[in-house]
Amino acid sequence: MIEREAASKALKLASQYPVLTITGPRQSGKTTLCRMLFGDKAYVSLEDVDERGLAQSDPRGFLNRFPDGAVIDEVQRAPDLLSYIQTIVDENRKDGFFILTGSQQFELLESISQSLAGRTALLKLMPFTLTEAYGPDISDVSLERMLYTGFYPRIFDKGLDPTEAMSFYVNTYVERDLRMLINVKDLSKFEIFLKLCAGRTGQILNMTGLGNDCGVNHATVKNWLSVLEASYIVKLMRPYYRNFNKRLIKSPKLYFWDTGLAAFLLDIQNEKQMATHPLKGMLFESFVASEMVKHRFNAGKTDHLYFFRDNSGNEVDLICDHGIELDAVEIKSGQTIASDFFKGLTFLSDLTDAVRQSYLVYGGEKQFVRGNNIHVTPWRRIQDVVETD
């Protein structure tokens, strides 16, 4: 069993709060992590129809079965249960009494904010990081294979074909869950919408254009995107907000959390197709962005990533905001270093003295420091960038 980077933080939080709530996309390993760390606790899943029915009809009777607490999986299926959990933990005052998991972020967090505020710690568990998936030595893994495969744990655990696995994932989880949350009258339009979003990963979001391309209005696009974001399918990265006395882009960038899922939606069916696909660079950018955020989440931290772009076209792919300082990260999938790779980083360093470190993460193999103290980092060494956070 692969040890998750979030494990130590989960144990620490469970020793400090009466409830630990772990959220994340479906099949990200939440159940496996809980059973590994809290194997001494009773386990119940509210995906089970009988268990869910009891939790909804007789919450007190349901919880009284667990005098020593429990791991309750997919707790968003019975949100009213949280009010009764509040009463129990207030009475016994034991840390780590209940461990809750949920894969629908916004429903779960809304219930938590009402019932368990101040009583629960929150931890987001995403699919594997690069190191979790391939170990410390990834010299035999190609960039194309990594992007095509993605990082959902089950693919690695069972040795699954990525295309088949993502097909089943979309059919059984994405479409089912999202149809429960939004009123999709025409599923074919929503399927087209998902594919169009995949085709825009790593790009500035144009909701009007996206709506026109799939035949829905702006309000529908906004609603569908909010559900995709809350379900950990896509990430909307906001532009950097600090005032540089420049006219800055205000629209967010759209990223898919998992490159394997995006590759499936783009009909990429093997590594060879990935190697020549026109969106390979955008998928690579999505990989770097998600890797940076996963590191933050595994440490129990919040997302602090932005991008910078002004109306003159000056751009830096990632801005890591540390308050009074920031790190700048440019992302290029090419293996050959070109001088224009550094244009945005140089521009930002000249614009503000707040830049602490500058990085170029690229698809090559050599690691070195260039003029202006820019750390050129191969993708296999992405950990060197996230560890400076």
Question: CA-CA distances (angstroms) from residue 321 to 186, 238, 318, 350?
Answer: 41, 12, 9, 17
Residue 377 domain flag: yes
Q: Report which DSSP code applies to 103.
A: S
Q: Are residues 361 and 286 in the same domain?
A: yes
pLDDT at 245: 59
Full domain range(s) for residue 164:
130-386
* Domain annotation covers residue 148: yes
* Residue 216 within any structural domain of the chain: yes
Tell me which of 91, 124, 157 is where a domain ends: 124
> Domain for residue 350, yes or no?
yes
Q: Determine the pLDDT at residue 102.
A: 87
Alpha carbon distance 19, 96 (integer Å): 5
Residues in the chain: 389
Do 107 and 177 have their domain in common?
A: no
Whether residue 196 is contained in a domain is answered as yes
One domain for residues 301 and 167: yes
284 and 363 share one domain? yes
Q: Is residue 220 part of a domain?
A: yes
Compute how many other C-beta atoms are within 10 angstroms of the C-beta atom of residue 320.
21
**Is residue 2 a part of any domain in this protein?**
no
188/244 same-domain check? yes
What is the domain-level CATH number for residue 28? 3.40.50.300
Assess whether 139 and 245 both reside in one domain.
yes
Residues 210 and 338 grouped into a single domain? yes
Whether residues 100 and 159 fall in one domain? no
Low-confidence ranges of the chain (pLDDT < 50): none
- Please check whether residues 351 and 335 belong to one and the same domain: yes
Give, rounded to a whole angstrom, the gap between the first and last alpha carbons of the chain: 27
Same domain, 64 and 212: no
- The number of folded domains in the chain is 2
Residues 6+ apart with CB under 8 A from 168: none
pLDDT tens digits for 83-105? 999 999 999 989 999 999 988 66
Q: Is residue 1 part of a domain?
A: no
Calpha distance 279→262 (Å, rounded): 10
pLDDT in the model for residue 39: 94
Final residue of a structural domain among 95, 124, 153:
124
252: left (phi over 0), alpha (psi -120 to 50) or beta: beta
Supply 107's token pair: 């429903």
Is the domain of 32 the same as that of 164?
no
Beta strands in the chain, from DSSP E residues, in sequence order: 19-23, 42-45, 70-73, 98-102, 120-124, 203-204, 234-237, 253-256, 305-309, 315-321, 326-332, 355-362, 368-370, 374-378
Query: What is the pLDDT at residue 21?
Result: 93
192 and 109 together in one domain? no
